Amino acid sequence: MDAGILVAMLSRLMSLARVDFAPRHGQPASGRVLLATLGSIAGSLAADAVLVVIGQAVFPSTRGYPHFQFPDYAKLTVIGVVIACAAWPVVTRITSAPRWLFFRLAVLVTLVLWLPDLYILHGGAPGKAVAVLMLMHLAIAVVTYNLLVRLAPIQPDVRAKPAPQHARQ
Q: How confident is the model over 56-72, as pLDDT tens digits?
A: 999 999 999 999 999 99
Rg (CA), the chain: 20
pLDDT at 36: 98
Q: Which pLDDT band holds residue 3 (cuts at 50, 70, 90)?
A: confident
Q: List strand residue ranges (DSSP E) for the chain, in order.
A: 25-26, 155-156
| Phi and psi at residue 121, to the nearest 5° | -65, -45
CA 49 to each of CA 32, 108, 126: distance values in angstroms, whole numbers, following the listed order: 25, 24, 19
pLDDT at 165 over 70: no
Q: Give the CA-trace dihedral at 97, 101, 106, 109, to 10 degrees.
A: -160
Sign of the Cα torsion 91, 92, 93, 96 reads positive
pLDDT at 49 over 70: yes
CB within 8 A of 125, min separation 6: which ones? none
pLDDT at 16: 81
pLDDT at 164: 56
pLDDT at 4 over 80: yes
Residue 105 one-letter amino acid: L
CB within 8 A of 112, min separation 6: which ones? none
